[in-house]
């Protein structure tokens, strides 16, 4: 325990960057047409890997006249789960997929399935 605290204090004394600051850094940017593409390097440390952290890249597009943000914007939240009591209301064909629209207490929920699949009557499939 004493060694752990010593390493933490030593890290602060040497001015090591915080892990979150090193995880999202701007690697490159390019302008094409009316858009600017910003490429960020992110370190993926979900589970320990003996080979070291895995590097992933995240691409963000902004307007041509806008500078790339210092850090990428946060990822959108995952869609809300569909309640098990929802009932199929409609089916819509979009490109190569079928969108099943369910309703529950006046709120609509969407789920995408294959264009050849049937929409289940309830979302539990």
> 62-106 pLDDT, tens per residue?
999 999 998 888 877 777 788 888 999 999 998 889 999 999 999
Residues 64 and 98 in one domain: no
Do the domain assignments include residue 77? no
- Write out the H or E segment, with its range, that includes residue 123: none
Strand locations in the chain (E): 24-32, 35-44, 54-63, 87-94, 97-104, 107-114
Residues 95 and 65 in one domain: no
pLDDT tens for residues 20-75?
A: 445 678 899 999 999 999 998 886 555 555 665 566 888 889 999 999 998 888 87
Beta bridge partners of 87: 103
- The domain of 55 spans 17-71
Do the domain assignments include residue 107? yes
Residues 35 and 59 in one domain: yes
Q: Report the alpha-carbon distance of residue 42 to residue 99 in Å, rounded.
A: 33
């Amino acid at each position: 325990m004493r060694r752990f605290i010593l390493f933490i204090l030593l890290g602060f004394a040497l001015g090591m960057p915080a892990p979150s600051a090193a995880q999202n850094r701007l690697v490159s940017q390019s302008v094409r047409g009316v858009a600017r593409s910003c490429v960020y390097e992110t370190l993926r440390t979900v589970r320990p890997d003996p080979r070291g952290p895995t590097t992933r890249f995240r691409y963000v597009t902004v307007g041509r006249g806008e500078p790339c943000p210092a850090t990428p914007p946060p990822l959108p939240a995952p869609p809300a789960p569909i309640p098990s009591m929802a009932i199929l209301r409609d089916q819509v064909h979009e490109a190569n997929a079928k969108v099943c629209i369910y309703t529950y207490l006046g709120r609509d929920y969407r789920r995408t399935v294959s264009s050849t699949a049937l929409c289940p009557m309830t979302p539990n499939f």
